[in-house]
Amino acid sequence: MSYFFILPAFVLYVGAMGLAIVIATVHRPSTWLRPYFVSVLLWSSIGFVLSTALFVAVFLAMAGLVGALTSGPSTVGGITLGVVLLLGPFVAAALGVGGGAVFGLWRRLRRTGLYVRIPTDDFPPEL
């Protein structure tokens, strides 16, 4: 049931990013943003798919574990699985899209040389 809310939001996100890519392609002053938008869209989509697949695998394993640990129907196990099934997709989708977007942006910044690496050899500085 959660994906009835998540999938339309993801489709709107992909549409908005697609529109941003088209605008960045057409509008000359913002052409330099296009590779960033493409990278963020690509990696956030990959993150969404991978996090959803991981959630399904973990949920199925958890359901099997709860079934194996209890001899029959369990109220606590049923409530736990219900809460995970209701809230888990929201958490998985948010982590997948957010993590993928951050990774895509970081990857693009590193490739273009705009990524600033903080030196860690002398951190924290001695006073």
- Predicted pLDDT at 120: 60
Q: Sign (positive/negative) of CA torsion 116, 121, 125, 127?
A: negative
- Alpha carbon distances (Å) from 56 to 34, 104, 109, 110: 33, 24, 32, 32
Query: How much of the chain, in percent, has pLDDT values that exceed 90?
Result: 50
Contact of 96 with 45, CB cutoff 8 Å: no
- Predicted pLDDT at 121: 60
Q: What is the pTM of this model?
A: 0.78
- Predicted pLDDT at 27: 92
Contact of 14 with 82, CB cutoff 8 Å: no
- Predicted pLDDT at 126: 57
